[in-house]
């Protein structure tokens, strides 16, 4: 057997036990590190190394189980997995259309399909990055470039030192990786804007924040404490970050009004839609994202709702020139020097230089599902989330805390101690994985239904598991 056949056999074994294996790993980090720690002086047959790797199995988390609801974790669609293997075998460093035309074309087609399915303006730039964190970074890099250019500053040439300070307004319940992306970009800590009980940004609070001339933080002032008053704060460069899909509630910001307000003040609007943007692909759920197409940049993941294997995120910029200026690169030794007027090469759409053709598995999953299949995938996740919320919410002593708009369900017991005890019991069961969190000042149990493989039977088993955990507390 060669290495590929060995890998295929072990992969099948892993996938086949998805419904029967307990979800948590049975061995811990130290035991596993010890198992793999010997570096021999001489060579080992590649197939034997793959066999050795299969001994990692007791340390694997059953993230592909239909009853794994932790964080926001997609499963692996078979077309995506097959395409991912082929992408590695092809080993195309997808920078330039002229050099790797097949993978560049597949990514370009996948990008056009995404814009179509998500109802976003055709002609927007689409870059395939590692995840939504980098998609946030990429969209915000384009925004940083544009708002500074609008104020007469060329950040690509002159950097941030001495630049007009950029204000970044975010919903108080944005994902932490928005802050991380802003940190990478040298924009510091953003200014939080009040949200409602589902975590949606409040339009009146956003309007007030946009008009607030006293609270513009000067770069270098210590975070959160010192503010300097800028007489011309209203004229400063501003970026507004909105959200499609709150981590706890799944709620969506009011895009139409928020974007109109922000644009009236000359702000760049970025939307973090890591999992939630996919509502736009379903005719029945599309209203949740109404107005989102007016954003200047958007971030989403393929490895969550679309069930493409890791790592695959998507940065979409509806003002493509800003992206090309912010992250594009040209070097003298690259073939096919840019035709600045022509369509961008892949290397001009993402922060990376060398990279795998990670858009190819996206093409494959979209091609396998078809337009209706993408809608059915998203609708199915939401239907399962609602069924879980209904079943769990009917259990004595349990309260579902959010309006189940999309794939996220948050529930809790009467007090934090009981909620934490139920969380621990659920994880001990090995039958489901639901992660604990804190939301709106209390301990909660979070469910994210993101795996295409979750069945009605999984849902029923999961509700039953919660019933037993609640009874035991």
Residues that bind ligand PLP (CB under 6 A): 72, 131-133, 175, 177, 245, 247, 272, 274-275, 301, 313
Q: How far apart are CA 276 and CA 255, in angstroms?
A: 13
For residue 313 the two structure tokens come to 């995120």
Kind and range of the H or E run holding 436: strand 435-439
Which CB, 238 or 274, lies closer to ligand PLP?
274
Tell me if 212 sits within 8 A of 281, measured CB to CB.
Answer: no
Which CB, 300 or 429, lies closer to ligand PLP?
300
Which CB, 179 or 345, lies closer to ligand PLP?
179
Q: At its nearest, how many Å lie between ligand PLP and the CB of residue 285? A: 17
How many CB atoms lie under 10 A from the CB of residue 82?
15
Q: How far apart are CA 200 and CA 209, in angstroms?
A: 15
Three-state DSSP class for residue 350: coil
Tell me if 235 sits within 8 A of 207, measured CB to CB.
Answer: no
Q: At its nearest, how many Å lie between ligand PLP and the CB of residue 316? A: 14
Tokens 């974007």 map to which residue?
259
For helices 78-90 and 101-117, what crossing angle results, to 10°?
Answer: 150
Residue 360: which of 135, 120, 111, 133 has the closest Cα? 111
Q: At its nearest, how many Å lie between ligand PLP and the CB of residue 28? A: 24
Q: How far apart are CA 307 and CA 300, in angstroms?
A: 12
Which CB, 132 or 298, lies closer to ligand PLP?
132
Which CB, 132 or 374, lies closer to ligand PLP?
132
Q: At its nearest, how many Å lie between ligand PLP and the CB of residue 41? A: 39
Q: At its nearest, how many Å lie between ligand PLP and the CB of residue 355? A: 15
Residue nearest to ligand PLP (CB): 131
Q: At its nearest, how many Å lie between ligand PLP and the CB of residue 235? A: 30
Q: What is the DSSP letter of 192?
A: E
Which CB, 72 or 347, lies closer to ligand PLP?
72
Q: How much of the chain is helix, strand and coil, in % rounded to 5?
A: 45, 10, 45
Which CB, 175 or 356, lies closer to ligand PLP?
175
Q: At its nearest, how many Å lie between ligand PLP and the CB of residue 107? A: 18
Residue 69: which of 318, 404, 314, 427 has the closest Cα? 427
Q: In terms of DSSP bridges, do strands 297-301 and 268-272 run parallel, antiparallel, or are they unpaired? A: parallel
Q: At its nearest, how many Å lie between ligand PLP and the CB of residue 196? A: 17
Which CB, 134 or 463, lies closer to ligand PLP?
134
How many CB atoms lie under 10 A from the CB of residue 435?
18
Instruction: Count CA atoms within 13 Å of residue 254 on its CB side.
Output: 14
Which CB, 261 or 299, lies closer to ligand PLP?
299
Tell me if 197 sits within 8 A of 440, measured CB to CB.
Answer: yes
Q: At its nearest, how many Å lie between ligand PLP and the CB of residue 274? A: 3
């Amino acid at each position: 057997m060669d290495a590929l056949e060995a890998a295929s056999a072990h992969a099948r074994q892993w996938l086949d036990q998805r419904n029967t294996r307990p979800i948590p790993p049975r061995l811990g980090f130290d035991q596993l590190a010890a198992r793999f720690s010997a570096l021999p002086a001489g060579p080992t047959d590649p197939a034997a190394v793959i066999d050795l790797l299969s001994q990692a199995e007791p340390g694997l988390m059953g993230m592909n189980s239909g009853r794994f609801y932790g964080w926001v974790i997609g499963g692996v669609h078979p077309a995506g997995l097959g395409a991912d293997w082929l992408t590695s075998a092809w080993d195309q460093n997808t920078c330039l259309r002229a050099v790797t035309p097949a993978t560049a074309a597949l990514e370009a087609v996948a990008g056009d399909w995404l814009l179509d399915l998500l109802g976003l303006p055709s002609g927007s730039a689409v870059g395939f990055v590692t995840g939504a964190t980098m998609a946030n970074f990429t969209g915000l890099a384009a925004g940083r470039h544009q708002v500074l250019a609008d104020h007469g500053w060329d950040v690509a040439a002159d950097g941030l030192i001495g630049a007009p300070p950029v204000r970044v307004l975010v919903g108080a319940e944005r994902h932490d990786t928005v802050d991380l992306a802003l940190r990478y970009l040298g924009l510091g800590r953003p200014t939080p804007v009040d949200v409602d009980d589902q975590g949606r940004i409040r339009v009146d609070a956003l309007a007030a924040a946009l008009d607030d001339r006293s609270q513009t933080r000067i770069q270098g002032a210590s975070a959160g404490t010192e503010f300097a008053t800028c007489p011309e704060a209203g004229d400063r460069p501003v970026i507004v970050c909105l959200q499609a899909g709150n981590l706890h509630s799944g709620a969506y910001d009011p895009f139409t009004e928020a974007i109109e307000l922000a644009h009236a003040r000359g702000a760049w609007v970025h939307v973090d839609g890591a999992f939630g943007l996919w509502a736009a692909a379903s005719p029945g759920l599309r209203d949740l994202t109404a107005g989102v197409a007016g954003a200047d940049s958007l971030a989403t993941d393929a490895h969550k709702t679309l069930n493409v294997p890791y790592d695959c995120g998507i940065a979409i910029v509806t003002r493509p020139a800003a992206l090309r200026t912010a992250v594009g690169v040209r070097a003298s030794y690259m073939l096919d020097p840019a035709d600045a007027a022509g369509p961008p090469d892949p290397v001009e759409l993402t922060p990376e230089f060398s990279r795998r053709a990670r858009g190819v598995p996206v093409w494959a999953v979209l091609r396998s599902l078809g337009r209706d299949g993408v809608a059915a995938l998203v609708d199915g996740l939401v239907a399962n989330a609602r069924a879980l919320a209904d079943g769990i919410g009917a259990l004595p002593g349990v309260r579902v805390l959010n309006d189940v708009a999309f794939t996220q369900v948050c529930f809790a017991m009467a007090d934090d101690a009981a909620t934490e005890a139920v969380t621990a019991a659920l994880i001990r069961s090995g039958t489901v994985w639901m992660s604990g969190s804190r939301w709106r000042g209390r301990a909660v149990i979070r469910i994210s239904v993101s795996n295409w493989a979750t069945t009605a039977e999984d849902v029923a088993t999961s509700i039953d598991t919660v019933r037993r955990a609640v009874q035991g507390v």
